[in-house]
Structures are given as structure tokens and as C-alpha cells.
Chains A and B, each alone.
Chain A
Amino acid sequence: AQSVTQLDSQVPVFEEAPVELRCNYSSSVSVYLFWYVQYPNQGLQLLLKYLSGSTLVESINGFEAEFNKSQTSFHLRKPSVHISDTAEYFCAVRALRGSARQLTFGSGTQLTVLP
């Protein structure tokens, strides 16, 4: 079984400041890693994913995440946030082996960008 820990439930940050949302996972097998974003009253949308290869992955709207196998982390970063980035962010893992194909989610981090 795998688990995901998002260390911060709420992160307030001023517009144009950098932000890091932390995610640590636990799994007995190798995993794929995902970040999803949820805007108010909407479903979840994929932000970015790590499957293999380069440990740094980027999204089209300026977010990036780095897979660190030794620290079992997949932190999400953005060098300069906008008001429109206000949303809840979920880290998720999926094991490469085993009977389960489902995603296991963290508890979420509410990012609030202040003017």
C-alpha cells in the first residue's frame, strides 16, 4: 500500500512571491507521481506528472515539481504566483505494481494568493 502526506493544509502567499507545496509519499514499490489542481466548485485537473526520466517536470502554467527518490518527495514549486493560482492542490501516487490501479491522494493544500 502507498500513502501520501501533504505537510501544509493551507499556504497563504502574496502575489508574485515564490511558493512551494510539499508532498512526501510512502510506497513499497516504485510509483508514478501526480499533482492535481482543484478550482472552487470544480473537479480535479491534472497539473503535472512524473513517470520516469528527468526528475524535474514542468506544467504549462509555470509550476514545476522535482522527484527526489531518496527523500521520497515530490514538492511543487512556482517562482512567481498569480491571483488565479488560488486553488486546492493535491499530490497523488499510483504504484507501478500490484492489484490496484487507483490513485492515492494526499489531504490537499489550499493555496491562497493575496494581492
Chain B
Amino acid sequence: NAGVTQTPKFQVLKTGQSMTLQCAQDMNHNSMYWYRQDPGMGLRLIYYSASEGTTDKGEVPNGYNVSRLNKREFSLRLESAAPSQTSVYFCASSDTAMNTEAFFGQGTRLTVV
């Protein structure tokens, strides 16, 4: 069972470079999320998509854009990477019902130098 798949697992960027983090889920979930994880700060929501065709800002959206390509896929783009975006990025998905948990990918460790 694949669940939530993120690519790549590791990435090093130079300041100013752009890249897209890919995420796909095979659980037919309506909602998808992008979080970043930094030491001592837990997980902070960057963007989420409650359903196909909609996206909304989370707690820390600056410097990022997202695309909900279809029900399965939700990508995160860094247009001009900055060292402050060095982090571990997690994609997650959940059913629409509020009482269901989110399922997480394995994470992408991004370093911006």
C-alpha cells in the first residue's frame, strides 16, 4: 500500500533556485496538505486543499505556491529558494470528514545553501 508518496526525498538548492515538491496519494482522499517541520516548532501548515480545485493558505504560506493538479496530486513550488526554507517538508492527506486522521508521506529534506 503506497499511501502518500513524496518526491524527492532529499534536495539541495542554491539560494534563488526554484523547485517543485511532488505529492501523490492513492486513498481517494479529498483533502491534502503541505507542512514544514523545523526543530522545536512542530509542524506548521503551509497550504492545504480541502478538495480538488481549491487551495488555501495555511500558517506560513510566504515564499510558496501550490497546485492541486487532480484529486491524487498536490505539488508545492518554491519559486526562489531562501536559506530560511531549509526544512523537512511533509505532505498529508485526509478524508473530508473531520473525525478522520491525516496520513503523512515520508518527507522531503530540503537544504538551501
Contacts and interface: CB of A to CB of B under 8 A. Distances in A.
Interface of A: 4, 6, 9, 32, 34, 36, 41-46, 49, 51, 90, 94, 96, 99, 101-108
Nearest to A44: B104
Interface in B68-99: 90, 92, 94, 96, 98-99
Interface of B: 4, 31, 33, 35, 40-45, 48, 50, 56, 58, 90, 92, 94, 96, 98-99, 101-102, 104-107
A32 B42 contact: no
28 contacts: A4-B42, A36-B104, A42-B107, A43-B90, A43-B105, A43-B106, A44-B43, A44-B90, A44-B92, A46-B101, A46-B102, A49-B101, A51-B99, A90-B43, A99-B56, A101-B50, A101-B94, A101-B96, A101-B98, A102-B45, A102-B58, A103-B33, A103-B102, A104-B45, A105-B35, A106-B42, A107-B42, A108-B42
